[in-house]
Amino acid sequence: MAARGFVSIVAVYILLARQAQAKNDAPCQRSKWNSGYNTFIKRHVRSGLPASLDQNEWRNYIKNNGGCDRPTQSFLEPKDLDRVRAVCSNSGGKTYKDNLCISQEPFSFVTVRSEHGTCGIRNIVRETKHLILACEVLENQCVPVHFEGNPKDARPSNNAKGCQDPDIKGHASSLKTTWLWWLASVFAIMYA
């Protein structure tokens, strides 16, 4: 009897640990990462970006502002911040997959590829593509928390729901967690 209880408790623990680490399965659900938006801004929407695609300017910029440890970086203009945030709304974005939204309009941004850890620049490209962003709720607002690459130049589907569609915005993630905690409690009581 004690072995069965122990196995049940371990199984419930593994199930809950897996759920706690999972990313959201739809956009605009409560974030599990409180500093996600600030990190997104710090990495992708910086002021003082070089105006040209000169490798020396970009190397100095990245070296002085951090990022030598990231081999691929994409930078958006601060003047586009409101448009970037709108990707996480019905007016600016469509659901893509999981917690990702894709912009309804293309954006212009700079992608810098460098040698990991050295700040040595391999190439710099000005791109115009639809943005793919992970969007999650922080402080009751759906905001971008991650910039996902778009190597195949994906575009939004006309049939996709808006990013903050009421059908997907619900708290499915927190309902699942509540249900799992309830189940875990029942197992713990039954097999303790």
Instruction: Report the helix count and the strand count for the chain, using DSSP H and E.
Output: 6, 6
CATH fourth-level superfamily of 25-169: Ribonuclease A-like domain (3.10.130.10)
Distance (Å) of CA 138 to CA 31, 41, 65, 171: 6, 14, 26, 13
Half-sphere exposure at residue 27, Cβ-oriented, CA atoms within 13 angstroms: 31
C-alpha 70/C-alpha 66 separation (Å) is 9
CA distance 61 to 9: 52
**Residue 94: Cβ within 10 Å count:** 22
Contacts of 131 (CB under 8 A, 6+ apart): 76, 84, 87, 102, 103, 107, 109, 147, 150
pLDDT of residue 11: 41
Position 167 scores a pLDDT of 55
Q: How is residue 160 written in tokens?
A: 């996709």
Q: Which portions of the chain are predicted below pLDDT 50?
A: 3, 5-22, 168-190
State residue 53's pLDDT score. Answer: 97
Per-residue confidence (pLDDT) for residue 67, from 0 to 100: 87
Domain ranges of the chain: 25-169
Tokens 């893509």: give the residue.
Answer: 96
Amino acid at 139: E
121-138 vs 29-30, strand pairing mode: parallel
| Residue written as token pair 């419930």 | 12
- As a residue count, the chain comes to 192
Residue 32 has a pLDDT of 86
Query: Given the DSSP bridges, would you call strands 100-114 and 121-138 parallel, antiparallel or unpaired?
Result: antiparallel
The pLDDT, as a whole number, for residue 185 is 45
pTM: 0.76
